[in-house]
Structure 1
Amino acid sequence: MSALPDVGVTSWELSSRQVLVDGELQPARLRIEDGRIVSLAVGGEEAGSGEEAPPAAVVRVPDGVVVLPGVVDSHVHVNEPGRTQWEGFATATRAAALGGVTTIVDMPLNSIPPTTTVEALRVKQAAALAAGLSCDVAFWGGAVPGNTAELEPLWDAGVSGFKCFLADSGVPEFGHLDGALLREALGEIARFGGLMVVHAEDPAVLAAAPHPSSRAYGDFVLSRPDEAETSAIAGLIDAVRDTGARAHVLHLSSARALDLVAKAKDEGLPVTAETCHHYLTLAAEDIPDASPQFKCCPPIRDRGNRDALWEGLEAGILDLVVSDHSPATATEKLRGDGDLQQAWGGISGLQVGFTALAAEARRRGIGLDRVSRWVSAAPAALAGLAGKGRIAVGHDADLVLYDPAATTPVRAEDLAHRNPISAYDGLVLEGAVVGTVLRGTRDTRGGARGRLLERTHV
């Protein structure tokens, strides 16, 4: 591949035999000016701004390498400030860029303070800028007991929506919403046209499930049963029906909840849902006991459940796929010496999630066009980020160059996120990200050129 232009070059072209445009891989030539795509020639037909200035460089992508929109990961826990030893903006965004992710949307916890007020949002934004960013970053606000009056100011400040928990979040500064508080928050969000994104597990079901101290992964799964998700999602759908608010189900792991989401959509309710790379690529039967790197809530379930999630994704019941990147220190992750009830829950998948998902999709005969929709266009739309998630004139020149013929050996100690713990450690994945372009800049892998984003449409 001819070299990508140096930092500071604002006018250049990219030519490739395989560019994902309008849902189809096809030969295309992109012209990039000041970080945006200003013209796009596909099959001899050009759409663009009409500007005639010659580009400074032409990059010809080798045959076999595919050019896709940069990945938009709308579910990332950066944790800075307050728990920066778990993860920070510099390390998280560098990991993102290495994995083809050009935009992340940061969750309102586990930072201190959590992003539940405009003042806290400004603290987090200042921390992000001070750390340096290798990709663009948008933010979710939080909905917790007592902050209903803060929701509209946060929305006006540009957050993508509001995260809430229906069960214990795991951190004391981010309380969960019971049924009455959920309806209160949804009613307020419906009033100004916002969006609630929901960690949907029923605390009563969780409390009734067995929680023995155990190193067995099967015992951990029994402590987070399918019913916890189905019960919580059913209650959320009832609340959406009553309030008219838009709601999005986060990290759906139980395929038994798919019918609930499908029926809500058939009813015309404004409900969407996501699942995660790890639920689609890993399976409970393959997880060794006493391996907390695989612990997450809700849990990774069995192979049959995984297959059903893929079916739900292909059927459009599930709308998008994200990492739910939620790292912790080794002390927290390994707490309990293999007792999975004591270990911190969370999967560190920001850098390798897209590659793992693309490899599994390929094994199942699913093309990169569909994968890209699930990891780029759909998350950008959910988070209200116009100009992201597609290769189109007027959009940011955010690109990932992906080689299906290469391989990605995963070694936790080589990953860029702060703590070298990963559920993907030791895997050799088919396919590799071989280049990332952020707003026309040649390579975000070691740079600090990301920007803070605000929601740009509802």
Structure 2
Amino acid sequence: MYSDGGAGEVWVHARAVAIRPIPWLDGFRQPPHAAVMTNPLLLLRNADVYAPDALGLRHLLIGGGKLLWIGETEPQLPAALEVETLDLEGLRLIPGLIDGHVHVTGGGGEAGFASRVPAPMLTRYTTAGVTSVVGLLGTDDAARGTAELLAQVYALRESGLSAWGYCGGYHFPPTTLTGTVRGDIAFAEPLIGVGEVAISDHRSSQPTLDEVLRLASEAHVAGLMTGKAGIVHLHLGDGARGLELVRQALDTSELPPRVFQPTHVNRKKALFEEALALAMRGCHVDITAFPVEEGEDAWPADEALMRYLDSGASPQRVSISSDAGGCLPCFDGEGRVCGMDVGHSGALLETLNALLARGLPLDRALPAFTRNPATLLRLRGKGTIAVGSDADLVALDGEGRAHHVLLGGAMHVRAGVAVVRGMFEHQH
């Protein structure tokens, strides 16, 4: 329930939620989320708020994992409430970043089983200002499956991170829990779509138009049934066919363009131009924050977003993800791995700061990392700072680093130091 407190102030009434320890076997320390919140109410003072729209200096009251109030004048709260106070002293406060393309179980495997990338630990996300992730499978959807992905999504949730996932992976038929994509999305709450389905890539199943259409219809109908995103998240390789299959799907079916979300669209400059044309038709496109060498036929993520925003395409139809935990391989002429890197969620803040260094205002850059993916993926309460939204917040220091990070109102990073770690991360 919401009420107007006057003077431009808005309140939401919510009950504080107590966090109780879960009993664990003797010899194991408490789970990382057991004592995250010591006080149910937190007042953030003097925050320069980007919601992602620029709001200016504000004070915010957090409780029960939600933003309860925001205003220009500091509230007079009863002492009995025992409100903890944190003065941000003018630091920029932004919504927690949403990383919409993460190999939460680890990716890789293209150069043998030893090349399978381990699952990223909790603080790899939180210290990078990432508070929500969408997990997926890639090339290795045989040794790794939807059950393992779902288990890791639940593990991240238990640690305080907001997490969802896609069923399937690169290949046809898609790996599923229930036997169908429609069933997985309908009955597994965290699964919101299917992906990353590979096209225009020598590692793909070389899917036909009919296969892509059938997959997209399954995802779309499941989304209608459940209120979820119901999208097909498409991995784009560097093949000459580019986005041809997506254009054909739009030309020959009744499926809405939003169902198709191509990613890695900045890996080739010509592919990026195809993606811009699809965005004009209503598709949402995803830019990847991977490293690009000087002279390479690709656009770095910051350059790609600048070009997108200057293209005339809807600024709401673009997002930036990291490919965290995924192998970033290069291949020789015979399709064998000749080198590899590993994606990391820190690339999002690096890209955001590169955009600011180019002169793009923060409120214009932020939506691609926050509100846009939340809207497409129907992640309610995410991607914005507003009364009633989830208290996933990042205070940036003067260098653009994550200084304080709150997940559901719980402090995970304080003054640049992770104060909450995953179960198997070493304490320092």
In structure 2, how many angstroms separate the alpha carbons of the residues matched to 1:84 and 1:92?
A: 19
Match status 1:241 vs 2:256: no
So what's the TM-score if we normalise by structure 2?
Answer: 0.71
Corresponding residue pairs, total: 358
Match of 1:397? 391
Q: For 1:54, give the aligned amino acid.
A: L
- Measured after TM superposition, the shift of residue 360 of structure 1 is 1.2
In structure 1, how many angstroms separate the alpha carbons of the residues matched to 2:207 and 2:393?
A: 38
- Measured after TM superposition, the shift of residue 200 of structure 1 is 2.5
Equivalent position to 1:440, from 403, 409, 417: 409
Higher strand share: 2
Equivalent position to 1:18, from 48, 54, 59: 48
Write the deviation string for residues 267-309 of structure 1: whole angstroms up to 9, x where unpaired: 4x4x110112236xx4433xxxxxxxxxxxxxx6356997465
So what's the TM-score if we normalise by structure 1?
Answer: 0.67
Instruction: Indicate how the Cα distance of structure 1 residues 108 and 73 shifts in structure 2: closer, same or farther if over 3 A, else same.
Output: same
Instruction: Indicate how the Cα distance of structure 1 residues 122 and 8 shifts in structure 2: closer, same or farther if over 3 A, else same.
Output: farther
Match of 2:87? 60
In structure 2, how many angstroms separate the alpha carbons of the residues matched to 1:305 and 1:129?
A: 30
Q: For 1:349, give the aligned amino acid.
A: H
Instruction: Indicate how the Cα distance of structure 1 residues 439 and 309 shifts in structure 2: closer, same or farther if over 3 A, else same.
Output: closer
In structure 1, how many angstroms separate the alpha carbons of the residues matched to 2:247 and 2:383?
A: 28
Q: Superposed, which structure 2 residues align to 1:18-417 within 5 Å?
A: 18-21=48-51, 23-41=53-71, 43-44=72-73, 54=81, 56-63=83-90, 65-79=91-105, 86-89=116-119, 91-109=120-138, 120-129=145-154, 133=159, 135-142=161-168, 144-147=171-174, 150-156=180-186, 157-158=188-189, 159-163=191-195, 164-168=197-201, 170=203, 175=205, 177-192=207-222, 193=224, 194-201=230-237, 224=238, 228=239, 231-243=241-253, 244-245=255-256, 246-253=259-266, 254-267=268-281, 269=282, 271-278=283-290, 282-285=292-295, 301=297, 307=303, 309-315=305-311, 316=313, 319-327=318-326, 341-343=336-338, 345-350=340-345, 352-403=346-397, 405-406=398-399
CA contact (8 A) 2:182 2:219 kept: yes
Instruction: Indicate how the Cα distance of structure 1 residues 263 and 86 shifts in structure 2: closer, same or farther if over 3 A, else same.
Output: closer
- Measured after TM superposition, the shift of residue 126 of structure 1 is 2.8
Instruction: Indicate how the Cα distance of structure 1 residues 447 and 87 shifts in structure 2: closer, same or farther if over 3 A, else same.
Output: farther
Higher helix share: 1
Larger RCO of the pair (alpha carbons < 8 Å, separation 6+): 1
In structure 2, how many angstroms separate the alpha carbons of the residues matched to 1:381 and 1:346?
A: 30
- Measured after TM superposition, the shift of residue 264 of structure 1 is 3.5
- Measured after TM superposition, the shift of residue 96 of structure 1 is 0.8
In structure 2, how many angstroms separate the alpha carbons of the residues matched to 1:308 and 1:59?
A: 37
In structure 2, how many angstroms separate the alpha carbons of the residues matched to 1:308 and 1:373?
A: 15
> RMSD over aligned Cα, in angstroms?
3.7
Instruction: Indicate how the Cα distance of structure 1 residues 305 and 390 shifts in structure 2: closer, same or farther if over 3 A, else same.
Output: closer
In structure 1, how many angstroms separate the alpha carbons of the residues matched to 2:370 and 2:133?
A: 11
CA contact (8 A) 2:209 2:248 kept: no
CA contact (8 A) 1:79 1:86 kept: no
In structure 1, how many angstroms separate the alpha carbons of the residues matched to 2:271 and 2:236?
A: 11
- Measured after TM superposition, the shift of residue 381 of structure 1 is 2.0
- Measured after TM superposition, the shift of residue 378 of structure 1 is 1.3
Percentage of identical aligned residues? 17
- Measured after TM superposition, the shift of residue 17 of structure 1 is 3.9
> 3-state SS of the aligned residue for 2:192?
coil
